Chains A and B, each alone.
Chain A
Amino acid sequence: MSAITRDEVAHLARLSRLALTDDELDHYATQLDAIIESVAKVAEVAAEDVPPSSHALPLTNVFRPDEVRQSLTPEQALSGAPAVEDDRFRVPRILGEEA
């Protein structure tokens, strides 16, 4: 049984706004399946007393004091934007017409 179905890959692609062709879906479903299976091998060695980890560093409580630091100028902030209007980032239409 595969670890991820073609339908699930299609769903993820839609959530990620990736337009994948049918061929690509087949291709990625196979590849992702192999990746998930490989990663799942970790579970075989993880004993009951090993808690799941989300971070490579054995650290907690890394904080910074609440101090203001220099921000960018609006010119700097907007310098990489494809489109700018009124010192704001201009982005394409987000949602279509109301159904």
Chain B
Amino acid sequence: MTVETAMPYDEALARFEPVLGLETHVELGTASKMFCGCKTTFGAPPNTQVCPTCLALPGALPVANAMAIESTIRIGLALNCSIAEWCRMARKNYFYPDMPKNYQISQYDEPLCFDGYLDVEVDGETVRIEIERVHLEEDTGKSTHVGGATGRIHGADYSIVDYNRAGIPLVEIVTKPIPGTDRLAPEVAKAYVTELREIMRSLGVSDVRMEEGSLRCDVNVSLMPRGSSEWGTRTETKNVNSLRSVERAVRGEIERQAAILADGGRIVQETRHFHEDTGTTTSGRSKEEAQDYRYFPEPDLVPIAPDPAWVAELKAGLPELPTVKRKRLQAEWGLSDLDMRAMHNADAIDLVEATVGAGAPAADARKWWMGELARRANETGVALADLPITPAQVARVTELVASGALNDKLAREVLEGVLGGEGAPDEVVEKRGLKIVNDEGELSAMIDEVLAGNADAAEKVRSGKIAAVGALVGGVMKASRGKADAARARQLILEKLGVSE
């Protein structure tokens, strides 16, 4: 593997303009596969979700999954696409053992959905990404390459294949080339994939887990010299498996290509592999020798002709889409653009919304998710949504604070207990004995003790230096191990010392 040079990003952008293209694959969350009844469960033991159809045994024939067709059309509609009135699946022939048929059933020149767009927001600006096509195909099996130095396909001694994934419905969403993003290209790419992921979630068509491969992104980048209008040769970077990597892959490829071009070199049209650990790409198979897939209409399947009335019904039934929903919630919660963007970036909006739905005031819900819980998620390196606490539990904590049963410090302890698996908020309060001391007698006794032990401070307060009361309240809080109601303690101390504010 040769080490490649890179030009610093700012210099690269001063000399070249990037043109982007994004191909995104979304594995649909159907119960069964695209053309047979095998399950689609992720992580099942190898070759336990296979049958004569997805193993291509002689005589087995495919029948299309109605739900997969419906989901693809709904995705197309959400992306403002036209829906084909008539289209066919096509056979894509290639010589790779990841499909037992030696071809993949896909779509070629007749995609189910085409000519759409998606608006994304970057830096407060709306960027319109044109969608070329949304088509339906089947996923491939999973190959593991054995032997060789790198664990990659090149130089491996042999490979072993698990066909559980082969035949799971896969939707491919292809953008038109995206010029004019300039230095925001990495952010635009990331914002696009983020928005796409949220749309898939709101449609409920896929679990879109990048780490499990149910959302995968290929990033195309080319550069042209400033002032030129002729696009350069593009590369296609695969294996980009997180939102952050989408951004890094675009940036890295801009820096790499700029160095080559500035040095008088030329870009080779090729597939490149992204490496999560270094953020760099290495060369994969070259596309110079154009792929010849010999597509032809799939003879084992009849054409798909969605009834326009049905399509209209699906369109009417689309859920509120994420951008619209964000605008509505921002207005309802009275947040600034900046606050809303912070919540969006932290993936906190749905959680806060659910917490509000469970009865919490929006400000409180936001405070806990964006504060303590975001901090905990960050510390432990998990997504906010994957923390072992539910919006309903967070809502209960805000309720306990509002009722005066907990203060913020105690509430944090309750959250810690819930996250630690100690049970629901009320159980944690019970087990850890976290209720605020509301018993006036107990509190009064504590104050007497503190006053006796801090005669100097007490005397200052008595003589009118009310500011000195802070130390006494602090003493009470310490004596109660944080469980006293600080405001009430202050009130009682002042009463006992015969001063009023």
A residues whose Cβ falls under 8 Å from a Cβ of B: 11-12, 15-17, 54-55, 57, 59-74, 77-78, 80, 85-98
Question: Quick check: B31 and A98 within 8 Å, CB to CB?
Answer: no
How far does the Cβ of B293 sit from chain A's closest Cβ, in whole Å?
A: 9
Given contacts A93-B158, A94-B153, A98-B154, contact A62 B47 (CB under 8 A): no
Assuming A93-B157, A97-B154, what are 5 further A-B pairs, CB within 8 angstroms?
A15-B95, A54-B88, A55-B303, A67-B32, A89-B163
Which of B74-82, B124-132, B294-302 interfaces with chain A? B294-302
Q: Which residues of B contact A60 (CB under 8 A)?
A: 86, 302-305
Q: Which residues of B contact A68 (CB under 8 A)?
A: 31-32, 37-39
Say which residue of A15, A59, A69, A86 sits within 8 Å of B32 (CB atoms). Answer: A69
Q: Which residues of A contact B36 (CB under 8 A)?
A: 69
Q: Which residues of B contact A63 (CB under 8 A)?
A: 63-66, 69
Question: Quick check: A97 and B65 within 8 Å, CB to CB?
Answer: no
User: Count of A-B contacts with CB under 8 A?
Assistant: 141
Question: Quick check: B51 and A69 within 8 Å, CB to CB?
Answer: yes
Question: Quick check: B50 and A77 within 8 Å, CB to CB?
Answer: yes
Question: Quick check: A62 and B38 within 8 Å, CB to CB?
Answer: no
Question: Quick check: A62 and B302 within 8 Å, CB to CB?
Answer: yes
Contact with A along B422-449 (1 / 0, CB 8 A): 0000000000000000000000000000
Question: Quick check: B46 and A86 within 8 Å, CB to CB?
Answer: yes
Question: Quick check: A72 and B51 within 8 Å, CB to CB?
Answer: yes
Q: Which residues of B contact A73 (CB under 8 A)?
A: 48
Q: Is B96 part of the binding interface, using a Cβ–Cβ cutoff of 8 Å? A: yes
Most chain B beta-carbon contacts within 10 A, residue among A16, A17, A64, A96 = A64
B residues whose Cβ falls under 8 Å from a Cβ of A: 30-32, 36-39, 45-52, 55, 57, 63-69, 86, 88, 93, 95-97, 143-146, 153-163, 285, 292, 294, 296-299, 301-306
Q: Which residues of B contact A89 (CB under 8 A)?
A: 47, 97, 160-163
How far does the Cβ of A50 sit from chain B's closest Cβ, in whole Å?
A: 16
Given contacts A57-B302, A66-B66, contact A71 B158 (CB under 8 A): no
Question: Quick check: A85 and B154 within 8 Å, CB to CB?
Answer: no
Say which residue of B37, B48, B145 sits within 8 Å of A67 (CB atoms). Answer: B37
25 residue pairs A–B, Cβ–Cβ below 8 Å = A15-B93, A15-B292, A17-B95, A55-B299, A61-B306, A62-B63, A63-B63, A63-B64, A66-B32, A66-B67, A68-B32, A70-B37, A71-B38, A71-B39, A74-B46, A85-B160, A87-B47, A88-B160, A88-B161, A89-B160, A92-B158, A93-B156, A93-B157, A94-B156, A98-B154
How far does the Cβ of A79 sit from chain B's closest Cβ, in whole Å?
A: 11
Question: Quick check: A97 and B155 within 8 Å, CB to CB?
Answer: yes
The chain A residue sitting closest to B296, CB to CB, is A54
For the residues of A in contact with B, the DSSP-based class is loop
Question: Quick check: B66 and A90 within 8 Å, CB to CB?
Answer: no
Cα distance A11–B289 in the bound complex, in angstroms: 12
Question: Quick check: A94 and B96 within 8 Å, CB to CB?
Answer: yes
Q: Which residues of A contact B93 (CB under 8 A)?
A: 15
The chain A residue sitting closest to B292, CB to CB, is A15
Say which residue of A17, A54, A78 sits within 8 Å of B47 (CB atoms). Answer: A78
Q: Which residues of B contact A92 (CB under 8 A)?
A: 158
Question: Quick check: B47 and A77 within 8 Å, CB to CB?
Answer: yes
Question: Quick check: A95 and B154 within 8 Å, CB to CB?
Answer: yes
Q: Which residues of B contact A70 (CB under 8 A)?
A: 37, 51
Q: Which residues of B contact A54 (CB under 8 A)?
A: 88, 296-299, 303
Q: Which residues of A contact B66 (CB under 8 A)?
A: 63-66
Question: Quick check: A94 and B50 within 8 Å, CB to CB?
Answer: no
Q: Which residues of A contact B157 (CB under 8 A)?
A: 93
Cα distance A62–B303 in the bound complex, in angstroms: 8
Question: Quick check: B63 and A15 within 8 Å, CB to CB?
Answer: no
Q: Which residues of B contact A72 (CB under 8 A)?
A: 50-52, 55
How far does the Cβ of A67 sit from chain B's closest Cβ, in whole Å?
A: 6
Q: Identify the 10 closest CB pairs spanning chains A and B, nearest first.
A: A69-B37, A54-B297, A66-B67, A63-B66, A88-B160, A60-B305, A98-B154, A91-B97, A87-B46, A64-B63
